[in-house]
Structure 1
Amino acid sequence: MSDLGTLAVIFDLDGTLVDSEPNYYEASRRTLAEHGVPGFTWTDHEGYVGVSTLETVTIWRERYGLRVPVAELLAAMNRRYLDLARAHTRAYPEMRKFVELLAAENVPMAVASGSSPQAIDAILAGTGLAAFLRTVVSSDAVPHGKPAPDVFLEAARRLGAAPADCVVLEDAAPGAAAAHAAGMRCVAIPYVPAQAGAPEFATADLLLRGGQAEFTAQSAYTWLRDTAR
């Protein structure tokens, strides 16, 4: 048995495993501009980090008074994002090392994301992470997205792991809240370090306030080993 015992690890994708937020921002900016909403800024985008694409476009429709159907907005957003994701997505180097460390110990792993299944598959394939992360759950597959716990509970079910044996890695407040609601431990790596004081992050078992700049594969592995149940 591994030093990590019965542990299973569930990764959020965007902003946690890979730096995909610039692609989501650009896809958002172009989609909104097409529908008469210019000037969407990176600061505006930060408010949607951790929110599913479906929920994001639903909010846009009300916030900006858009008359286009949600399904049409979602399709346009996903199409633009996929084009960008295939060409430009970068896996965080220390996260890649961490995945490889866990794989070497045969630790069960999954990805649980608010992105579409097509986006998740494209990113994992393009970054080479698909070789290690074969269990994938999109919020499209469950009744409710984050901050509801559904996507994490479904990932645990597919891994055959008890929620209490799962550790979630998350970059966004809704994801940290979802992990807590699922009864799972959480390593929080805020994508926007200025948001590290959000109350949802206070429920995390390990909070790296500096975000990815503070994350290393070895220190995360050591923490998991030292806190293994």
Structure 2
Amino acid sequence: MTSILFGSISSLADTSELQRWAFNKAFADHGLDWSWDREDYREMLRGNGGADRVRQYAEQRGEQVDADAIHAAKSEAFRDSLRKDGAEARPGVVETVSAAKSLGMRVGLVTTTSPENVEALLTALSPALGRDDFDLVLDTTAVETTKPDPAVYAKALAELGEEPGACVAIEDNVGGVQAAKAAGVACIAFPNANTADHDFSAADSRVDRLDPADVTGLLEA
């Protein structure tokens, strides 16, 4: 068997700007005069962890906040928007999943976001793409350490019974690429709108849209 491992919900649908909007809504709801513009947010995305971003930003401003509560409010706003407006799969994602399944390959979603965010995104993408299209779905509850630590990829390989060389990861952020490569998994960088100018040189290839031939070609190589 071989497997394609999507590394984040934003590798399926570009939710980056929606997430930034949700952060700003959470700040306003908590009475903060913070507002992250797009350039600021692009820089923040060079690291992983939403609650950590809030903590670091508060420290820079010399303020004390409940970062976990703010992040929880942000996540709820994010999910509410997905429930209301739905989501659209990124270019080539549905075709790549369909092609992989037709070739007898397995497809996984290997993320360290919350199970609630995963469920909201997959529901929003349905019927074009849903949980039943994935042979394995892992979220932050599966491991003790989040990306760029490779723990979630090690967990995926163990559950699928796969060797690293039999898999290809698709990641939209640098931390995700680092996690995949540290686990020995080849990785295609598929940047989102807010990570497009980041350094993806550690990835095996970089694409602006998914093509089933790119994925299977990397597996064959």
TM range, smaller chain: 0.7 to 0.9
2:102 maps to 1:108: no
Give the Cα separation in 2 of the matches to 1:225 and 1:150. 22
- Once the two structures are TM-superposed, the CA of residue 59 in structure 1 deviates from its matched residue by 2.9
Q: Does 1:94 align with 2:92?
A: yes
**Cα deviation, residue 147, structure 1:** 1.0
Cα deviations across residues 165-217 of structure 1 (Å, max 9, x unaligned)?
2211011111111111111111112223222xx2xx22211123xxx3xx242
Q: Which residue of 1 aligns with 2:196?
A: 193
CA contact (8 A) 1:37 1:64 kept: no
1:16 corresponding residue in structure 2: 11
TM-score in terms of structure 2 length:
0.86
Q: What is the match of residue 65 of structure 2? A: 68
**Separation of aligned partners in 2, 1:57 and 1:169:** 27
Tell me which residue corresponds to 2:35: 39
Q: How far did residue 146 of structure 1 move?
A: 1.1
- The aligned runs of 1:15-164 (5 Å cut-off) are 15-35=10-30, 36-49=32-45, 51-86=48-83, 87-128=85-126, 129=129, 130-164=131-165
Match of 2:10, SS state, is: coil
Deviation string 1:84-130 (CA, Å, 9 cap, x unpaired) is: 12224221141111011111122122111232111101111221222
Unaligned ranges ≥5, structure 1: 1-5
- Give the root-mean-square deviation of aligned CA atoms: 2.1
Change (3 A) 1:164 1:54: farther
Whole-Å separation in 2 of the counterparts to 1:68 and 1:30: 15
Whether the 8 Å CA contact 1:29–1:41 is kept in 2: the answer is: no
- The answer to whether the aligner puts 1:203 opposite 2:199 as a matched pair is no
Q: Offset of 1:45 from its aligned partner?
A: 1.6
Question: What SS is found at the alignment partner of 1:187?
Answer: strand
Equivalent residues of 1:112, 1:137 under 8 A apart:
yes
Relative distance call for 1:194 and 1:28 in structure 2 (3 A) is: same
Once the two structures are TM-superposed, the CA of residue 66 in structure 1 deviates from its matched residue by 4.3
Alpha-carbon distance in 2 for matches of 1:81, 1:17? 16
Name the CA distance, whole Å, in 2 between partners of 1:18 and 1:171. 10
Task: Give the SS at the match of 2:9.
Answer: coil
Q: Which amino acid aligns with 1:46?
A: R
Contact 2:167–2:219 under 8 Å retained in 1: no
Give the SS at the match of 2:177.
helix
